[in-house]
């Protein structure tokens, strides 16, 4: 745990870290270099929250870590950080960290998003988003923050729409980063499903004659039966049990078609001690009794 431990004092709630105000309107927006406030506090931002305000940070150089409620995030470079409103958070920056921080009222974000809920959602979840290796252009993000800060500290014609334009660029960048992260997570999940599915098929091939319980297969693979079923359904469209039953029926059909073994012998060979139970099992899944299948399959094979 890298945090400062249990907070013994009441959680401070600031509009800007270290400033107490109560009359900030819904259009409230503030932009400043990270060093202005964090550097003055030895690069340590202690646990606090911003009521009704979100923070978006661009980290150009440096790094550190962020803790929001009970979650911790490393801060890569370059990256964007999101701290949603009312969430208790603390930050430990590396000394000399460079970048900008935007503090914006939720109402201002809604105004800039102009009814696009995806843009609002982009600042509703805490996290850090590395820019390297993504489709989001890091220099474009840097430019948006730099431009917003320049507009914020001076007054010129078109200042407000210029700030809105840069805020919109930043929200779109966050939306795209979140989408890319979601796609990577989905792909990673798909890859994990495939790996588990492949291991299950190998284990099934080795043990389908002797092991009929999903608990055995799941335990051997180090997962729960529901997790195994989820992977099989994702990659094969069938549960793990259905795959086992299909493999048993395929093996039984091979024996019925290519050997003279009795139905009871075939059932015993693939793990059914009760011939009657094996016949019922086969009939339910093949649509006909073992003997009937043997006759029809051999007739079809001989061209009769």
CATH of the domain at 297: 1.10.10.60
Alpha helix stretches (DSSP H) within 114-158: 117-121, 138-153
Task: Point out the least confidently predicted range of 14-23, 162-171, 288-297.
Answer: 14-23
Domain shared by 219 and 149, yes or no: no
Domain shared by 293 and 168, yes or no: no
Question: What DSSP string describes 243-294?
Answer: HHHHHHHHHHHHHHHH----HHHHHHHTT-S-HHHHHHHHHHHHSS-HHHHH
* Domain-terminating residue out of 126, 153, 186: 186
Domain shared by 173 and 230, yes or no: no
Domain shared by 18 and 127, yes or no: yes
Domain shared by 71 and 112, yes or no: yes
Task: Point out the least confidently predicted range of 131-140, 179-188, 217-226, 294-303.
Answer: 179-188
Domain shared by 127 and 247, yes or no: no
pLDDT for 2 = 54
Beta strands across the sheet bearing 98-105: 29-33, 98-105, 53-61, 79-83, 127-130
The residue segments making up the domain with residue 270 are 208-301
Say which CATH number the domain at 52 has. 2.60.120.280
Assess if residue 214 is contained within a domain: yes
Assess if residue 275 is contained within a domain: yes
Task: Point out the least confidently predicted range of 27-36, 70-79, 146-155, 184-193.
Answer: 184-193
pTM, full prediction: 0.60
pLDDT for 131 = 95
Please choose, from the candidates 87, 125, 92, 93, the residue with its C-alpha nearest in 3D space to the C-alpha of residue 1: 92
* Domain-terminating residue out of 186, 219, 235: 186
pLDDT band of residue 88 (cuts 50, 70, 90) is confident
pLDDT for 240 = 95
Domain shared by 161 and 285, yes or no: no
Assess if residue 225 is contained within a domain: yes
For the stretch 261-298, pLDDT in tens is 999 999 999 999 999 999 999 999 999 999 999 999 88
Domain shared by 173 and 214, yes or no: no
Q: Write the DSSP symbol of residue 94.
A: P
Assess if residue 202 is contained within a domain: no
* Between 182 and 228, residue with greater pLDDT: 228
pLDDT at 22 over 60: no
Assess if residue 297 is contained within a domain: yes
Domain shared by 158 and 73, yes or no: yes
pLDDT for 104 = 94
Overall number of domains in the chain: 2
* 104 token code pair: 């914006």
For the stretch 116-163, pLDDT in tens is 989 998 998 899 999 999 999 999 999 999 999 999 998 889 999 999
Cα separation, 102 vs 121, in Å, equals 17
Domain shared by 253 and 287, yes or no: yes
Domain shared by 245 and 297, yes or no: yes
Assess if residue 224 is contained within a domain: yes
Overall average pLDDT of the 76-84 stretch: 96
pLDDT band of residue 69 (cuts 50, 70, 90) is confident
Domain shared by 174 and 124, yes or no: yes
* Between 250 and 145, residue with greater pLDDT: 145
């Amino acid at each position: 745990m890298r945090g400062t431990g249990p907070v013994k004092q009441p959680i401070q709630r600031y509009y800007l870290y270290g400033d107490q105000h109560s009359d900030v309107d819904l259009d409230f927006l503030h932009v400043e270099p990270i060093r202005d406030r964090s550097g003055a506090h030895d690069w340590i931002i202690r646990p606090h929250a911003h009521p009704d305000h979100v923070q978006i940070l661009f980290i150009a150089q440096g790094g550190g870590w962020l803790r929001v409620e009970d979650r911790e995030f490393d801060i890569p470079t370059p990256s964007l950080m999101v701290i949603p409103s009312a969430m208790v958070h603390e930050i430990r920056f590396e000394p000399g960290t460079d970048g900008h921080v935007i503090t914006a009222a939720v109402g201002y974000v809604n105004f800039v998003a102009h009814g696009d809920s995806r843009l609002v959602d982009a600042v509703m979840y805490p996290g850090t988003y590395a820019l390297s290796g993504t489709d989001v252009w890091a220099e474009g993000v840097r430019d948006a923050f730099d431009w917003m800060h320049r507009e914020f500290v001076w007054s010129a014609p078109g200042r407000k729409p210029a700030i809105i334009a840069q805020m919109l660029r930043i929200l779109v960048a966050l939306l795209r980063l979140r989408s890319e992260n979601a796609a990577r997570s989905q792909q990673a999940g798909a890859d994990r499903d495939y790996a588990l599915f492949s291991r299950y098929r190998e284990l099934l091939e080795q043990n389908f004659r002797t092991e009929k319980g999903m608990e055995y297969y799941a335990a051997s693979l180090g997962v729960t039966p529901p997790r195994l079923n989820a992977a099989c359904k994702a990659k094969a469209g069938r549960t793990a049990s259905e795959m086992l039953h299909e493999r048993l029926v395929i093996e039984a059909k091979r024996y019925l078609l290519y050997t003279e073994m009795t139905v009871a012998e075939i059932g015993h060979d693939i793990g059914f001690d009760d011939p009657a139970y094996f016949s019922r099992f086969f009939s339910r899944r093949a649509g006909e009794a073992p003997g009937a299948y043997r006759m029809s399959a051999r007739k079809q094979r001989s061209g009769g």
